[in-house]
């Protein structure tokens, strides 16, 4: 089946159907990508204990900080690939992808060398509780050394969206998740004579999963004759093209910077949470797992709006951008809203998946109730900024996000945590998301809609 492209947008096909065809596989892919980590956390929390779960959780903000550049690089490449694919210029599709993978692999190697060497000092600087520091260091060091391969995996699945192929990513992540389901408990329990690796089991399973699934993806892309298949022509493009890199960075760096600010804010918030002890750290991890699933539709819808917008621009159909934005907002309200309701109804059962301690379950449930509803608001601002990003307008949306995170979220969390305790940290999330939506919408309506939109590549 040929994926929907900008050339067919609105031409006899309802926009929501175009969204759904693109969104469905990508949403499942994002869920599966997180499911692998969630299953590992369930295994660790239930089979090893709360301390091990806290050790794994303590590394997440650091990992997010280190891969933020790669995520931004992938976002910039996806926009350019989307525009090139909308114009059916496969040569530029391959050139953008080749440059992006070359830069991503090089950056991953740097992270592996320097991050692996300074793992313990980094975790100490985060205020990781002493009782989990050794386990957290072991887990983090394994993951950091594996970053070159992980970055290639993340970039490959991200760039496929630009050519409208969300199905290959879905199949790839099914394989990755299946590997994690088997390998993690096998290494925890030492099945079949395997060594018992304890908390390191999750990291080793993650590495094996993305190695196997990346190899399978390369074979599939060859089989379906994808424009991103690693054939001879594509391999010739595996080099840094300065002109293309400049354009990719122009779009991607603001996204990366925004993610760095988000990760720094999460590090600051985690430091506040760590001050309440390892039980609070475990609650933080459990709540974040559930919120991630609730926000998947929001994130996926925003990415869909951005890619379909880029393809529309590439095909010269900028008149469809308004409809793309409206459809994204409507779908976010429906899909994310339903998951929010389910999250409230089954909050206790969800927390019990990760945690066995009754007091920690109660704390986690309370924190989830405080901020879960704001995921709908988070999704709406993501759609608005995603459509603007499709046109290359990234600096102002980035500035708005950074302003809200740095000058609203972190100060609000610090002030309220000192006044009302740990609950105040979670109140900062809805406050920030509401501010983001208001400011992004204002810029979209008052400035961006008046601009002339042109292709970037």
CA distance 457 to 244: 8
Angle ∠(70,73,79) on CA atoms, nearest 5: 140
Q: Mean pLDDT in the chain?
A: 85
1 domain residue, yes or no:
no
Work out the widest C-alpha separation in the chain, in whole angstroms: 66
7 domain residue, yes or no:
no
Half-sphere exposure of 255 (CA within 13 A, CB side): 27
Among 45-54, 232-241, 353-362, 379-388, the range of highest mean pLDDT: 379-388
Asked if 124 and 130 count as a contact pair (C-beta separation under 8 A), the reply is no
Give the total number of structural domains in the chain.
1
Q: How confident is the model at residue 11 (pLDDT cuts 50, 70, 90)?
A: low
6 domain residue, yes or no:
no
**Digit-coded pLDDT (tens) for 61-98:** 677 666 777 888 888 899 999 999 988 888 899 999 99
In percent, the amount of the chain with pLDDT more than 70 equals 93
Place of tokens 């650091």: 62
Better-predicted residue by pLDDT, 273 or 438? 438
288 domain residue, yes or no:
yes
How many CB atoms lie under 10 A from the CB of residue 319? 10
User: Please, what sign has the CA dihedral across residues 13, 16, 17, 20?
Assistant: positive
**Digit-coded pLDDT (tens) for 95-119:** 999 999 999 888 888 888 887 788 8
pLDDT at 193 over 90: no
Cα separations in angstroms, 175 against 120, 281, 317, 424: 32, 31, 37, 40
- Mean pLDDT, residues 339-354: 88
Write out the H or E segment, with its range, that includes residue 126: none
4 domain residue, yes or no:
no
- Mean pLDDT, residues 342-352: 89
Instruction: Name the residue range of residue 325's domain.
Output: 12-450
Distinct helix (H) and strand (E) counts, the chain: 18, 0
Question: In the prediction, which pLDDT does 221 show?
Answer: 94
Question: In the prediction, which pLDDT does 4 show?
Answer: 45
**Digit-coded pLDDT (tens) for 323-343:** 999 999 999 999 999 999 999
DSSP state of 451: S
**Digit-coded pLDDT (tens) for 229-262:** 988 888 888 898 999 999 988 888 887 787 777 7
248 domain residue, yes or no:
yes
Complete DSSP assignment for 52-75 = HHHHHHHHHHHHHHHHHHHHHHHH
5 domain residue, yes or no:
no
CA distance 185 to 348: 25
457 domain residue, yes or no:
no
């Amino acid at each position: 089946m040929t994926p929907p492209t900008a050339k067919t947008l609105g031409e006899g096909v309802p926009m929501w159907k175009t969204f759904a065809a693109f969104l469905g596989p990508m949403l499942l892919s994002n869920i599966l990508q997180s499911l692998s980590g969630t299953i590992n956390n369930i295994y660790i929390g239930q089979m090893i204990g709360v301390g091990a779960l806290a050790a794994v959780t303590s590394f997440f903000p650091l990992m997010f900080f280190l891969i933020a550049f790669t995520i931004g690089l992938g976002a910039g490449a996806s926009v350019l690939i989307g525009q090139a694919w909308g114009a059916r210029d496969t040569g530029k599709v391959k050139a953008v992808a080749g440059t992006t993978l070359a830069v991503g692999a090089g950056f991953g190697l740097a992270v592996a060398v320097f991050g692996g060497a300074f793992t313990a000092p980094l975790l100490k600087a985060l205020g990781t509780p002493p009782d989990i520091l050794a386990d957290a260091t072991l887990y983090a060091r394994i993951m950091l050394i594996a970053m070159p391969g992980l970055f290639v995996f993340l970039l490959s699945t991200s760039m496929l969206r630009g050519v409208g192929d969300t199905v290959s990513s879905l199949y790839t992540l099914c394989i990755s998740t299946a590997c994690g389901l088997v390998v993690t408990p096998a290494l925890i329990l030492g099945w079949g004579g395997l060594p018992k690796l304890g908390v390191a089991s999750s990291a080793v399973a993650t590495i094996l999963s993305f190695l196997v699934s990346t190899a399978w993806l390369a074979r599939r892309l060859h089989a379906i004759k994808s424009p991103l298949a690693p054939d001879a022509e594509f391999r010739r493009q595996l080099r840094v093209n300065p002109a293309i890199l400049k354009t990719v960075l122009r779009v991607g760096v603001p996204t990366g910077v925004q993610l760095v600010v988000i990760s720094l804010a999460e590090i600051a918030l985690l430091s506040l949470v760590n001050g309440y002890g390892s039980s609070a750290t475990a609650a933080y991890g459990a709540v974040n797992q559930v919120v991630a699933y609730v926000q998947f539709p929001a994130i996926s819808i925003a990415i869909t709006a951005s890619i379909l917008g880029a393809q529309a621009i590439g095909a010269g159909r900028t008149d469809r951008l308004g409809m793309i934005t409206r459809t994204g907002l409507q779908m976010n309200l429906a899909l994310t809203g339903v998951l929010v309701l389910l999250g409230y109804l089954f909050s206790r059962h969800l927390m019990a998946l990760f945690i066995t301690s009754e007091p920690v379950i109660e704390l986690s449930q309370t924190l989830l109730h405080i901020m879960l509803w704001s995921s709908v608001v988070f999704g709406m601002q993501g759609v608005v900024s995603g459509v603007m990003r499709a046109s290359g307008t990234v600096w102002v949306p980035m500035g708005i996000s950074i302003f809200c995170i740095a000058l609203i979220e972190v100060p609000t969390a610090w002030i309220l945590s000192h006044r009302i305790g740990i609950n105040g940290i979670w109140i900062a999330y809805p406050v920030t998301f509401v501010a983001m939506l208001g400011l992004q919408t204002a810029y979209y309506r008052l400035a961006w809609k008046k601009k002339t939109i042109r292709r970037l590549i």
